[in-house]
A and B are shown apart, each in its own frame.
Chain A
Amino acid sequence: MSMVGLEVNGRLVSKDVPDNMLLAEFLRDSLGLTGTHVGCDTTQCGCCIVLVDGVSVKSCTVLVANAKDSRVVTVEGLSDGVHLHPIQEAFIEHHALQCGFCTPGMMMSAVDLINRHARVLTPEEVRSEMEGNLCRCTGYHNIVKAIVAASEKMHAR
């Protein structure tokens, strides 16, 4: 066991955790943030993606101890509590989710992608960059549209 302190969605948390506890388990089981999903346990599907210090990370393969002193943002932290984040709006508007299980990881990954490019993304860029996220429902068609639309919105300013 070791004491780990980090910031999650703007809130400082500090807990005594087992050394082998994964970040995904910490978020879901210790903090009750069940929006982060575990789809494969092996870094392959992307359902568990969160932002750690602004970078998208598959939280099923990161020890919470490794995230010590970092800033973690999960799907629950995307919205400011009043307004949805542009990526959330775009996913709804473009029907980019069906069952919704891959959606949190998809959106967190997309936010990182959009932030890394300070311009509007092309569909080809989205397809190439997002290939680490799996979706079984949508055939990706509408997710591509939503991410391009969100990039337009986020970089229109």
Chain B
Amino acid sequence: MNDISHGLQLEPRPADLIDGVTLKAVGQPLARKEDLRLVTGQGRFTDDFNLPNQSWAWMVRSPYPHARILQIDKEPVSAMPGVLGVFTGQDCLADGLNAIDHSPVPSTKFDVRLRGPSDTPVFLGRHFLLPTDKARHVGEAVAMVVAKTREQARQAAQALLVDYEELPWVADTQKAAASDAPLVWEDLPNNMLVDSSFGDEQATHAAFEKAAHVVSMKTHINRVTGVPLEPRAALGNFDSTTQSYSLYAGSGGAVRQKKELAQVLGIDPEKVRVLSYDVGGNFGTRNRVFVEFGLVMWASKKIGLPVKYRADRTEAFLTDYQGRDLVTEVSLAIDANGKFLAMRANNLSNVGFCCVSLSPLSKGSGLVTGSYDIPLLLLRSRAVFSNTMATQAYRSSGRPEVTFAIERLIDKAARQIGIDRLDLRRKNLVKPSQMPYTNAIGSTYDSGEYEINMDKALLLADWQGVEKRRAQAKARGKLLGVGFANYVESSIGFPKERVDLIVREKHIEVVIGTQPAGQGHETSFSQVTADLLEVSFEQVFITMGDTDIVSAGGGTHSGRSLRHASTALAYAAIDLKVRAKNILAAVLGVLVDEIEFERGLFVHGPSKTQVDWFELLRLAQRSELPADLQGGIQVRRDNEMHTPVFPNGTCICEIEIDPQTGALAILNYATVDDVGRCINPMIVHGQTHGGIAQGVGQALWEQCFIDASSGQPLSCSFMDYAMPRFDNLPSFKTEIAQVLSPTNPFGIKAGGEGGTTPALAVIASAVEDALMPICGPIEIPMPITPVKIWTALDAARKNKEVLL
């Protein structure tokens, strides 16, 4: 047993860092700086880059879920037109390439501590660029062909003969956990890589003993994938003169890619330059190194030419990192007054063929009690390997899963006890007076007004009018259902960030190591910087994505970017003003204390001097300055911030089901999201919209479907993997709540993931509500497709006929 109990640490405090800063740009729905290039076709996505004499790589992928690689005959293929090289795992081994170090175990002091069985270190598997021993999932690259053109590489790859010995396989999460399951890694006695328990076992059991009501459920949160519309791509080049590599590759953070790829190649990170400009969607799937990134760099050195790779859509469905896939068993103990006493949860995460991230399991573990005051908890968190693509943090890593569990459990409890589902929630919500609130596993919620979120959402969704609309729907022969869910989530992420603030001739440059894929950092960071330095929004420019310029930075994940960026910027702005004042004092030959910064101007009263940042730069350039003030007006600030924040909210969804066909239409979708300080509401609303679509997609349509008899993934094109489309979503009603977080200067929480977090739960809740008159209480496994709905209705109708 262990826990992560910590008090709330207000490191570094906070709001006084921005005392005196007038917020003008912050909070405004300013149009994005990114958009002009993107609407005119001038974006810089990875596949838009080409180098002279570049060659193309194509991967040879395993057709089997699990197979020993016996032999790969390169010779016939090497002679095919245009072929420049054929490479296998043995070649990687011979060149001493290392496995990718994904650092998958979350390790800040606020993360739940996951350990192997019997408190052993977690065995992670080994993620080599190409394997030497076996293929562990369908689609795993086992060889790479490089040729002059993409088509030549593709044809040669298709001709390459690989001798496999098929092995028994396991893809299903629960089957993978069985003691007799085929072993994905022979290093372990079974497929279980994590088995950790948390909470007070005795007290929890005792609470369940004395409970007036106990409700339980078991469910599988289906596996889905991120589907960024830009297929992943990479262009690697080795420069023999400087013995250094460059890699064009869109990702969630170029600095991380640089570090981890240098380690794979066994070289000094300073010999690697990674360039990641416009990124066509990420959602977490691009935050870990892909094997092809290392392979094109290595191959470029081997053949002496740049090497490019672009996944086709089927490869993306097979081998982009995937998300979710959690089996959860939960029980809730409730007293006679409807107060929650204790919770038991048993969560089993499927990490796939090797472990690239335990973030989903860890983040979920910290939030199993949701928005509610549940004093006791017993939690077992486990993870298994399987013969499937690896899973990774996907939009709102781990939180939709546990939100689904607690919210569905409460719906169930309300019915079982005979209390209104809203009343049962109100009775047990964490109250503002309890903030900061430490939940039973030790996560400390920073702030929030959960019941106010509920009230706002009920108003927004016209909850009062539900029964009237239900009657109207019934008159049309339709079943109306309304779903409800609260949520709380956590934003933790990599704890360090660096900014460089540089005064240029006509603008302020901000260099930072986050990496947006549509979140609009150039805009929101400019808004923050503009207010901090009292310059105009137009005068700020953000530089990201080239590791020759960006020296450090944690990338973009877990809703961390704006919170970290704004905090580092707040510190850097103070430093920059100090430096600027010192420079002006030196230029004028006066005491620095005599200089004030007011309304964007440095003012020296006695000499009636008033200069803005840019005039000061010109003065500095013309002056003889002491050594420590030379080099321009610029500062670098590193900041480390561990304390997590807890965005939260409420979501209500109204649907209509056609009982004859099982077809489902979403009529209304309303959310209230407490994101802390909102820097740009236009962007935050947009994030919520997209988040909703991804959550609803998972609940209703999306699934990485694996055929149970063959182990073959069958949802590998847009014809088979059902994406949310224009015509199956409604327009949304989204409202932003701003309860400022006390943990950082601007009071930011996060706004990127709240749309997704409650969406699974709210859809399942709405479906059950709609079907209640015919089916009674029911839990249809996600994705809740029309055929499943129709089947449930049909079974219920037949059952009723039998009873009659």
B42–A35 touching, CB < 8 Å: yes
Contacts of B366 in A (CB 8 A): none
What mask results when residues 74 to 104 of chain A are scored 1 for a CB within 8 Å of chain B, else 0?
A: 1110110000100010011101011111111
**Is A139 an interface residue, CB under 8 A from the partner?**
yes
Contacts of A130 in B (CB 8 A): 726-727
Contacts of A68 in B (CB 8 A): none
A41–B312 touching, CB < 8 Å: yes
**Is B517 an interface residue, CB under 8 A from the partner?**
yes
Tell me, in angstroms, the Cα distance from A103 to B45 when the chains sit together.
13
A136–B229 touching, CB < 8 Å: yes
What mask results when residues 223 to 242 of chain B are scored 1 for a CB within 8 Å of chain A, else 0?
A: 00011111100000000000
B35–A91 touching, CB < 8 Å: yes
CB proximity of B429 to chain A, nearest CB, Å: 28
Question: Considering the complex, which residues of chain B in the window 703-746 have a beta carbon less than 8 Å from any beta carbon of chain A?
Answer: 717-719, 723-727, 729, 731-732
Which A residue sits closest to B691, measured CB to CB?
A139
A128–B41 touching, CB < 8 Å: no
CB proximity of A133 to chain B, nearest CB, Å: 7
Contacts of B689 in A (CB 8 A): 138-142
Q: Which residue from A38, A99, A128, A133 sits with its C-beta under 8 Å from B47?
A: A38
A99–B279 touching, CB < 8 Å: yes
Tell me, in angstroms, the Cα distance from A107 to B687 when the chains sit together.
20
Tell me, in angstroms, the Cα distance from A107 to B183 when the chains sit together.
50
Contacts of B725 in A (CB 8 A): 131, 134, 140
Contacts of A144 in B (CB 8 A): 726, 731
Question: Considering the complex, which residues of chain A in the window 98-152 have a beta carbon less than 8 Å from any beta carbon of chain B?
Answer: 98-104, 107, 123, 126-128, 130-131, 133-145
Q: Which residue from B35, B518, B732 sits with its C-beta under 8 Å from A141?
A: B732
**Is A56 an interface residue, CB under 8 A from the partner?**
no
**Is A2 an interface residue, CB under 8 A from the partner?**
no
A99–B230 touching, CB < 8 Å: yes
Tell me, in angstroms, the Cα distance from A45 to B48 when the chains sit together.
18
Which B residue sits closest to A47, measured CB to CB?
B229
Contacts of A44 in B (CB 8 A): 313, 717-719
* Residue tally, chain A, CB below 8 Å to B: 54
CB proximity of A1 to chain B, nearest CB, Å: 14
Contacts of A128 in B (CB 8 A): 726-727
A35–B43 touching, CB < 8 Å: yes
Question: Considering the complex, which residues of chain B in the window 42-57 have a beta carbon less than 8 Å from any beta carbon of chain A?
Answer: 42-43, 45, 47-48, 50
Question: Considering the complex, which residues of chain B in the window 263-281 have a beta carbon less than 8 Å from any beta carbon of chain A?
Answer: 278-281
- Determine which residue in A93, A134, A141 has the highest number of CB atoms from chain B within 10 A of its CB, and name it: A141
Which A residue sits closest to B734, measured CB to CB?
A141
**Is A154 an interface residue, CB under 8 A from the partner?**
no
Given A44-B717, A92-B35, A136-B229, A34–B41 Cβ distance below 8 Å?
Answer: yes
What mask results when residues 469 to 489 of chain B are scored 1 for a CB within 8 Å of chain A, else 0?
A: 000000000000000000000
Q: Which residue from B41, B48, B687, B732 sits with its C-beta under 8 Å from A75?
A: B41
**Is B39 an interface residue, CB under 8 A from the partner?**
yes
A123–B731 touching, CB < 8 Å: yes
What mask results when residues 8 to 29 of chain A are scored 1 for a CB within 8 Å of chain B, else 0?
A: 0000000000000000000011
Tell me, in angstroms, the Cα distance from A101 to B519 when the chains sit together.
13
CB proximity of A19 to chain B, nearest CB, Å: 12
Question: Considering the complex, which residues of chain A in the window 32-91 have a beta carbon less than 8 Å from any beta carbon of chain B?
Answer: 33-42, 44-45, 47, 74-76, 78-79, 84, 88, 91
Tell me, in angstroms, the Cα distance from A54 to B134 when the chains sit together.
52
Tell me, in angstroms, the Cα distance from A102 to B154 when the chains sit together.
26
**Is B32 an interface residue, CB under 8 A from the partner?**
yes
9 inter-chain pairs at a CB distance below 8 angstroms, sorted by A residue, are: A44-B313, A44-B719, A45-B229, A45-B313, A99-B282, A126-B726, A127-B726, A139-B692, A140-B689
A-B pairs, top 10 by smallest CB distance, nearest first, are A35-B41, A101-B280, A98-B518, A100-B38, A99-B518, A139-B693, A44-B718, A139-B689, A75-B41, A34-B48
Given contacts A35-B41, A138-B690, 13 further A-B contacts (CB under 8 A): A34-B43, A41-B313, A88-B40, A91-B39, A99-B229, A101-B230, A101-B281, A103-B38, A128-B727, A136-B694, A141-B689, A141-B729, A141-B731
